[in-house]
Amino acid sequence: MAFFDVDKMKNLWKGGLLLSAVGIGALTLWYTEQFASHLRAEEERRVELWAEAIESIVQGDPEADLTLATRIIELNTTIPLILTDAHGVILNHRNLPGSDTSSLAIERELKIMMNYAAPIEVNLLPGVNQFIYRNESVNVQRLHNYPRFLLAIIAAYILLAYFGFSRARKAEQDRVWTGMARETAHQLGTPLSALYGWTTLLEEEGASPAAVSEIKKDLNRLQTVAERFSKIGTETKGDLGNLTELLRHTVDYLQRRSPGEVHLLLDLSEDLPLIPMQPVLLGWVVENLLRNAMDAMDGKGEVTITAIRQGRKVWVDISDTGRGMSARIKRVVFNPGFTTKSRGWGLGLSLAKRIIESGHRGRLTVLRSVPGEGSTFRIELPY
């Protein structure tokens, strides 16, 4: 279970990094909002100053120098403003967004401004009042959008980097597995050739024909294993083959070597088409799934192999009545190195999935699994 602990630690690290990223994003948005609040308060003071400038122009001495008051009004080039009388009639406007200056467009903006903030009153003369309505300036709006835009770009970059590194790591793992498999096949080749020679010598010296026959069967089996290892990593779909014959042959082989209380049942549709396959590798996948199913039943139960045509695909379901898997195990069952057994490297299902997806352009999934009731693995093969 050491591999499971490593996987759990990786998930904890991923969760910690995700929480850290969320925290950084929330802190950035909070700081931006605080900064925007200060800017909004500053804009409100500027509008109040503008109102005072209008009051000084209207109420001031006609001969007084109004340059400063006029300059204050002209310097506002960013804050959208609408000036109305006491009855809500629009008298003037400034810095409104968009190019539409029709009365309807200005009235729409006025409604928006009414919801944004309370108006600022301008006392022109005793009993004569006007009101200034305002909205956020373009700069404040940009400040609101900037951190969201920046965080979105950073998130997209992180996601692209993550998927890029994941694909590169997966490709590296595939190269390692393929190299190990082919090296194993190469190493098996020399002793196999020697053993075939020894069987010929045994036959010439009159050894028991039955014993020699069994030795040859085991050697042929080893030759098949070596061939499987040598073909791992090939991307070709292979030639059209008979799936029914492959399934029957695999079941017959394993049934003779299974415990007496384990029964392998075949339920094959009669209209199964010929499919492009690599028989050596596809047979190994089916055999691996059947062995896992038999192991999960602890020497007693039934394994049902169902094959049907579904559209342009063939579905092969392998169902057992064994221990089943929890939802947590289902998520990691195809991960390299994961195993619940006391022996083995935990590469069988990972390699099986790669063979189906890369070598046959299909899919291998856990269709269902219930603890205490059993599991069903599905192979989907296009034709």
pLDDT value for 65: 53
pLDDT confidence tier of residue 140, bands split at 50, 70 and 90? confident
Statement: residue 233 has pLDDT above 80: no
Statement: residue 248 has pLDDT above 60: yes
Which residues, including other chains, have CB under 8 Å from residue 185's CB and lie 6 or more apart?
226, 227, 228, 229, 230
Please state, in angstroms and rounded to a whole number, the distance separating the CA atoms of residues 345 and 333. Answer: 13
pLDDT (average), residues 248-259: 85
pLDDT tens digit sequence for 100-123:
888 899 999 999 999 988 898 888
pLDDT value for 1: 42
pLDDT (average), residues 80-90: 89
pLDDT (average), residues 208-224: 85
pLDDT confidence tier of residue 289, bands split at 50, 70 and 90? very high
Distance between alpha carbon 278 and the CA centroid of its chain, in Å?
Answer: 29
pLDDT value for 367: 92
pLDDT tens digit sequence for 260-286:
788 899 999 988 999 998 888 898 899
pLDDT value for 3: 45
pTM of the model: 0.53
